[in-house]
Structure 1
Amino acid sequence: MLRITVLVSGNGTNLQAVIDGIESGFIQGAEIGLVISSNPNAYSLERAKKHNIKSLVIGKANYPDIKERTKALIDALDEAKTDLVILAGYMSILDSKIIEAYRGRIINVHPSLIPQFCGKGFYGKYVHEAVLASGALETGATVHYVDEGIDTGPIILQEKVPVLEGDTVDTLAARVLKTEHKILKEAVKIMIASLSEKKGDR
């Protein structure tokens, strides 16, 4: 059984999608061992509690020093015997030490078709505002590996979402979010199969 740690900062609907994927049997051979939130008030922590998943808060409020925060994150990931790290609406940049320690085992979900509308400043509603302002006819969601850049890692899965006439930030965000949930579950399934194979080879 592979162990997943999910990093969150907010409401946690992508976390819920992974929980549902495991509980429904769509994702097999894995369990979420730990949820880490950068925000002590994130509803994600309540979701973890409801499903009896251990959770921790490691953020700027309780670890203002970046080095201490990074060490706390690495210690928590190691202690949880983490095989796969999922960034699910995680609003902090991971230190390179974490990326190096878990290279090829950290994935992120982003609400656009990378390389469009991504990078510094492109998160949450700002992505959808930019899409609508550009007049683009389509957008989408991407799951990708995390590297030292912002939204620059190799793409695992993408799916397009049409921009409809009369779309607002909220209506577009809601449709993209459904697609995020879908492809995140699919990407986790792919990652678990790949990591299980590698673990078996060791």
Structure 2
Amino acid sequence: MQAIIDAIKTQKLDAEICVVVSSNDSAYGLERARANGIPAFVRAKSSFKSLNERDESILELLKPYNVDYIVLAGYLGVLTENLVNAYPDKIINIHPALLPKFGGKGMYGINVHKAVIAAKENTSGATVHYVDLGTDTGKIILQESLEVLPDDTPESLQARILENIEHKLLVKALIKLEKEKSKRTIKL
């Protein structure tokens, strides 16, 4: 999220972050949002009877903000059909692997990097993609890769991808969407 805030402040990205919704009440992104005057809310799965109820709450929360895109940047939660269908081709996610490899159920965080190393891959990276009803199956917007080093651990690979690719790639993808959208500021 900080990369997006910084890109907006430096005018690399013509966007406005209207609202932040977290799946975790201790997510640092909430503090970043509040420090920048951005309304921030938590919609944790544990606070609702069902995922549908949680996502209906998210949909109601988003209505007054008229967002153009939902950016899943560290949001750990599977979205329901109602939420995905309410924003077709308007929800984007960053995934720490070169999809379609190492995507799907259970492939998040350090699990992805453990799988990449176990498979003895020569390259890894990150992918920004649209969210659809599958898990990590949406149309790819952008990808970037780096070499998996012989001495990489899951932790070192994760750190290198995060530092060298993920934050920058998410901003690049948003710039691409902004250019495709029109000449007006996109609302996130």
Structures share fold, TM-score greater than 0.5: yes
Aligned mate of 1:48, from 15, 30, 33: 33
1:26-175 equivalent positions in 2, closer than 5 A: 26-28=12-14, 30-175=15-160
Shift of 1:99: 0.9
1:8 — aligned with what? none
The alignment partner of 1:94 has SS state of: coil
Per-residue Cα deviation, 1:169-198 (whole angstroms, up to 9, x for no partner)? 121111111201111000001112222369
1:16 — aligned with what? 2
Q: Structure 1 103/70 Cα, relative in aligned 2: closer, same or farther at 3 Å?
A: same
Give the Cα separation in 2 of the matches to 1:66 and 1:135. 36
Q: Which runs of 5+ in 1 are unaligned?
A: 1-14
Structure 2-normalised TM-score? 0.93
Give the Cα separation in 1 of the matches to 2:80 and 2:182. 26
Give the Cα separation in 1 of the matches to 2:45 and 2:131. 21
Give the Cα separation in 2 of the matches to 1:121 and 1:61. 19
Counterpart residue identity of residue 66, structure 2: K
Q: Give the percent of matched residue pairs that are identical in Structure 1 and Structure 2.
A: 44
Shift of 1:159: 0.5
2:180 — aligned with what? 194
Give the Cα separation in 1 of the matches to 2:184 and 2:33. 28
The alignment partner of 1:147 has SS state of: coil
Aligned residues: 184
Per-residue Cα deviation, 1:17-45 (whole angstroms, up to 9, x for no partner)? 111111111101x1101000111111111
Structure 1-normalised TM-score? 0.87
Per-residue Cα deviation, 1:43-94 (whole angstroms, up to 9, x for no partner)? 1111111111110111123223323212111111212111111000111011
Q: Which runs of 5+ in 2 are unaligned?
A: none
Cα RMSD (Å): 1.5
